[in-house]
Amino acid sequence: MALELGVLLSGRGSNLAAILDAIQEGTLDATVKVVASNKSTAAGLARATERGIPTVFIDPKLFAQEEHPREAYDVAVGNVLKEHRVECVALAGYMRIVTPALIRMFPSQMVNIHPSLLPAFPGLDAQRQVLEWGAKVSGCSVHFVTEGVDEGPIICQKAVVIAEGDTVETLSARILEHEHQLYPRALQLLAQKRLQIEGRIVRVLP
């Protein structure tokens, strides 16, 4: 049975496009039920609409007066995902820190892709961090989302060698190419129910 996905994004949606391409090519057994964003101008929403996928813009400003605005926002996001019968949530360039309120609605069923070899260089501007530290290798990681930022158990990774003269832009572009391959692969393992979490370790079952 196909994995029923919800995708959260804030920008251009290139990883969403990679996921949809993999579904179309038959290498990912999934269906994207809804794409939601905290940005009304996110190009990823237009990408989804072009493919006939329902989209939702959820405005964070509507929750500014709540006692706990971030948590209230995430509950609203979670409710939208539940309404569309999503079983797994993929963060694809989602530029908000997800609160426990949302994570607990999808335990061990929320994944993220990050442009570094975690646990190194978590958080924002990972490629800039990498270059400023003079690292020789970077890459990307797909991991389960937990309450710590980019701290969840790692599903899979791909290394990218840093070239002499690399800039944030050139390194980001090379890493992104690998993200587009790695994310659908990780989601397919989830669809096949081949991932087993043991503490911090994710084991891939045969």
Q: Catalytic residue positions?
A: 114
Q: Which stretches of 54-170 are assigned E, i.e. beta strand?
A: 55-57, 88-91, 110-114, 137-144, 154-161
Query: Helix or strand or coil: residue 111?
Result: strand
Q: How far apart are CA 94 and CA 180, in angstroms?
A: 15
Residue indicated by tokens 């045969």: 206
Residue indicated by tokens 């057994």: 29
Query: Helix or strand or coil: residue 127?
Result: helix
Cα 106 to chain centroid, rounded: 14
Give whole-number Cα distances, 90 to 75, 103, 206, in Å.
16, 12, 23
